[in-house]
Amino acid sequence: MAVVSPSLIQRHISSSPVLHRAFHLLEEDEEVNELLKMSNVMAVTRLRYNDHGIVHARIVAGTSLEIFDMLVREGIHSTMLRDGTARNLEEAKVAILFAAYLHDIGNAVHRTLHEYVGALLAKDILDRLLPQVIEGPRKRVIAIRQEIMHMIFATEYNTKCLSTECGVVKISDGLDMSEGRARIPYRLGKMDMHAVSALSIRRVEIEKGERPVKITVFMDDMAGLFQVEQVLTPKILTSTIEDFIEVHIHTPQKTFRYYPK
């Protein structure tokens, strides 16, 4: 069992020198840092929304790698390996890490169309950083770059993921919802339904269940269900890995399976 949190990423980079290098390249890159800071200037300071910065990036990165490992252990194939855009699972994980970490940088321009803008902003960053992690000819780096750009673009609610790797990033984005960190932007300081629902969620756990990935959302009351319905479910249904996911709701009053019905 793993708890969705900023520390989850450490479990994965500590056992892989390649992922460790990739993560620290992102953490130490001036442009990446400033884009994430500007994402919060736009989202938090100007639009009065919740966090879309570096903490969210770390949470989604760690959660994505955790879910991907769970799928692989259950025999779910990597689309990148199948299609030859990655030579091994570690390269697929590098792509997931970069995509998860960078998926919200488009907010540095505007919330509107931020997934599309983020994919475009990521291109130059990836051209600069990927060759420091991925060995091989330029064409290999370009293929992985395009996979990452696809993953960022497809975090948009209605956009269909075209790879397993993309699906894990999209679902992981929707799992950052505990302690008021829900992915529906809610107006800070305004106790509307978005805020009440977000603040009802205490933690999110992932583990193996009847399906390869069981997600349990712990909430104080049923108000938290609004976040699951409006944020997580649409992402699951456009992830292409929806058949491998189950979602359970736990409240002080009852526990039940929410997805699939």
For 161-173, the pLDDT digits (tens) are 999 999 999 999 9
What is the reported pLDDT for 48?
Answer: 72
Mean residue pLDDT across the chain: 92
Domain that holds residue 16: 2-259
- Ramachandran bin of 113, using left for φ above 0, alpha for ψ from -120 to 50, beta for the remaining angles: left
Q: Which residues pair with 46 in a beta bridge?
A: none
- Checking if the pLDDT of 185 tops 60, the result is no
* 0.85 exceeded by pTM: yes
For 57-113, the pLDDT digits (tens) are 999 999 999 999 999 999 999 999 999 999 999 999 999 999 999 999 999 999 999
For 236-252, the pLDDT digits (tens) are 999 999 999 999 999 99
Q: Per the structure, how many domains does the chain have?
A: 1
pLDDT confidence of 189, banded at 50, 70, 90? Answer: low
DSSP string, the chain: -EE-STTHHHHHHTT-HHHHHHHHHHHH-HHHHHHHHHHHIIIIIIT-----SHHHHHHHHHHHHHHHHHHHHTTPPPHHHHHTS-SSHHHHHHHHHHHHHHTTGGGGT-STTHHHHHHHHHHHHHHHHGGGT--S-HHHHHHHHHHHHHHHHTTSTTSPP-SHHHHHHHHHHHT--GGG--SS---TT--SHHHHHHHHEEEEEEE--SSSEEEEEEESSGGGHHHIIIIIHHHHHTSS-GGGEEEEEE-SS-EEEEE--
